[in-house]
Chains A and B, each alone.
Chain A
Amino acid sequence: MNELVDLAALAKVKGLPWIAQKVARGFLSGLHSSVSRGSGVEFSQYRAYEPGDALANIDWKLFARSDRYFVREAYQESDLDLWMLIDSSASMSMVSKQNKSIDMNGLRSKPLSKLDFAKVFLSSLSCIAQEQGDAIGLVSLESSSTNANDLFIPAKKGHAHWQNLLLSLYNINADGGFPNLENLLPSFESMRHHGVLVVVSDFCQHNQEIFELLAQFNTQKTDVICVQLMCEDELNFNYQGQIKFEEPETGQSFLLSANEAKTGFLQALNKHQAQLEAHISHLGMQHLLVNVDLPIHQAMHDLFNLQTAMRRSHQHRHQQRSTNKK
């Protein structure tokens, strides 16, 4: 199970704080900032007193100097729920032939499938979140298990919970197709809608099932990050000669000349990606394309950079709104 935590990748991203974009209720217990103003550690801004503001928030020293009433605002640390949604359908079992073993301090030498990459990625991410004191939950999207409890691990804090979560993550196998949404809806209702939801999947869908799943989440209060995992072979179609392509979920297979099919596939893939990104953007979610044949720390860097960019964009919009009110 220790193999799931990519120590090398963690070493490269350890200094980066896992920062949420939305308001998190509850008391400060981590390093996450929120946009709610009030008493806190880090000063944010002064604004004019408005009827209804708490008197305790008035900066009396400033009043003494200016003879005017101002309310002092500061960043308030809040807890965060990190929900990890992992797609464990059969399509995630694909291994790229270009995939080279990822050096994980000599712990792993075999090529990684998309599911294996997802496990390591989420494990590393959960390690950071756990050290920050965040609650971590896991939902596995697989149709092979009929027990709803196997699919859903509620968000909790603590090292022991994190260890149990890693164990569950380790035991996930790529099998079957996409699960029935009706089995998952009760679990989604119990999720606190204040947190970050990381959906790790290849987004290979047959009947828009993944879009239906994403539509269940309220992006107004939950950061949803769609991490799409793809292999180098899928991105560039580096196949040659006569190949029998087999779909792992349906078992459908085609015998094709790879050289002749390359152009058509790449065109269809570009179209598919454009539609996916447009839909995700329309839902107010973030999309991150990850090549599983690249090192994991690069994927985590990309994720943190994405979060940072979106946070700055969100702060900028909030400041503009505040300015407009004045």
Chain B
Amino acid sequence: MNNLNDINYGWTLLALLIPIIIHLFNRSSGKRIVFSFVDLLPAPTKKTVFQLKLNQYLLLAVRLLLLALSSILLIGLYSNNTIQAQSKIAIVTDDWRLMASDTEKNALIQEGFESIYSLEQIISESFPEALQQPEDSFLSLSQEAEQALNASFFVNSVNTQLAQAYAQLVSHGLIEQSDDTQISVFATNRLSQYDLSSAGSFSPEISSLAQQKYDPQTFSITRSELPNNSAIFDWRLLSLKQQTENELPDLGYLKVNLLFSPDELAQQISPYLYAAIDAINQNIPQVSLSIGTNTKSIDAINTEAIDNDNNSLNKRFDKSVELLIVETTNDSQITKTPDGKLIVHIEELSKPSFPALLFNDLFKQELALAENQLATLPLSKIKQASLGAFASSKSDVKQSSINSKTVKQAPIPSWLAALLVGLFIFERILSERRK
């Protein structure tokens, strides 16, 4: 429980004192009536007095319970607005810089080299004595150093993205800035291409992450490790709380099949997809994702009209599959067969934002979006604006429209609402009888 929730519970305790104090200091139990013929009134029996006092205590207990439940309900609503410190935040990130082609990557590295060369030139001119040994030159890079440099780009990139995503979470008030939030990073990039075990200049958690390749790792990121330039960046992220069994969305068991053509691009991004799929399968047990690359089936879905007779579909695919996500040349859309099978058409499954889209389409999960002008810009331009000195990606990625919703609050338990209404009615009845 974080500090803010502790304060909430403190106020609740104070509110409960109010009816207790009123009860203790209320000397006049019952309405006072000046009555002439008191002698004619039946004498009160012990049983009557006991019943009257019991009614008073019962009324007090009902009022306390009403206050307590109302407070718990409000606190529950409030705390649903914030992600518990114990929960994990899953950021499905696509490292666009690693998703970039080798040409782009090389260009970036080349730019880095050029910058370093320029800097070395300046230093040698001003401080010739500083670069007297061959090993002092930045340009003398061994293969390992080159790999380390590549990895440093990766590390820097991931760290920057994480920092910005973290800042986004904070700016939305989804997490407490003073807490250490466990963030699960599902890096859906080609980590397998990099052997980071030899790189010692970055955090051991990253290297562990790389070693385990597709397995999502959990590591801590504290506020002190954030770079200073953690500017607000309209990074679309998905917060996926680790939910208990009782809080699982009512999806049933959803079987999803991803279909895409096994072209060269698909082969390149297949690790990316596999990483995303693994992330989903591990964190959402109700969902089973599989990949299919049957070109004919894909074409059939894209070209054939979906009519009442869906036998053609069932012949090609497993009947138990409920959701088909198909790469298509059309605009992204979702269709539904008469028997309830969902078909999600996504243009270019290789889109960096695919995991987020996938989550959105599958579960209609809430996405955190800042009211930012950048939100309407293409993703590439957003990255260009926010990453500052880093070169922008040359890939023209278009963002799909995603409904901007705030973090959805957990629905009020119906039994709690019914109990509150019942208690309120009971309290009114007792009060009226007491008048």
Contacts and interface: CB of A to CB of B under 8 A. Distances in A.
Bind each other: yes
Residue of A92, A94, A95, A202 with most chain B CB atoms under a 10 A cut-off: A94
A2 B269 CA distance: 105
A204 interface: yes
B35 A246 contact: yes
Interface in A154-201: none
Nearest to A202: B36
B36 A94 contact: yes
Nearest to B435: A241
Nearest to B36: A91
Max count, chain B CB within 10 A of own CB: residue among A239, A245, A255, A264? A245
B433 interface: yes
B52 A243 contact: no
Contact of A261 (B28, B29, B42): B42
Contacts of A95: 34
A242 B30 contact: yes
B30 A244 contact: yes
Nearest to B53: A255
A254 B37 CA distance: 12
Contact of A257 (B28, B38, B48): B48
B302 interface: no
Interface in B10-37: 28-37
Contacts, number: 94
A233 B33 CA distance: 11
A204 B37 CA distance: 7
Most chain A Cβ neighbours within 10 Å, of B28, B35, B41, B51:
B35
Contact of A256 (B37, B44, B432, B434): B44
Contacts of B40: 265, 268-269, 272
B1 interface: no
Q: For chain A, what secondary structure do more than half of its interface residues adopt (helix, strand, loop), or is it mixed? A: mixed
Contact of A243 (B30, B43, B49, B55): B30
A44 interface: no
A150 to B, nearest CB: 23
B46 to A, nearest CB: 12
A260 B49 CA distance: 12
Contacts of A245: 33, 35, 38, 41
Nearest to A92: B36
B39 interface: yes
A272 B435 contact: no
A248 B34 CA distance: 6
Contacts of B39: 204, 206, 247
Contact of A242 (B29, B35, B38): B29
Contacts of B32: 243-244, 246, 253
A160 B433 CA distance: 55
B38 A241 contact: no
Contacts of B49: 255
A244 to B, nearest CB: 5
Contacts of A246: 32-35, 38
Nearest 3 A-B pairs (CB), nearest first? Answer: A264-B42, A247-B38, A91-B36
Interface of B: 28-44, 48-49, 51-52, 55, 432-435
Given A97-B33, A241-B432, 12 more contacts: A92-B36, A202-B36, A241-B30, A243-B30, A244-B31, A246-B34, A254-B38, A254-B43, A255-B30, A255-B52, A256-B48, A260-B48
14 contacts: A91-B36, A92-B36, A94-B34, A114-B36, A204-B39, A206-B39, A241-B30, A242-B29, A242-B31, A243-B32, A246-B38, A248-B36, A254-B44, A256-B41
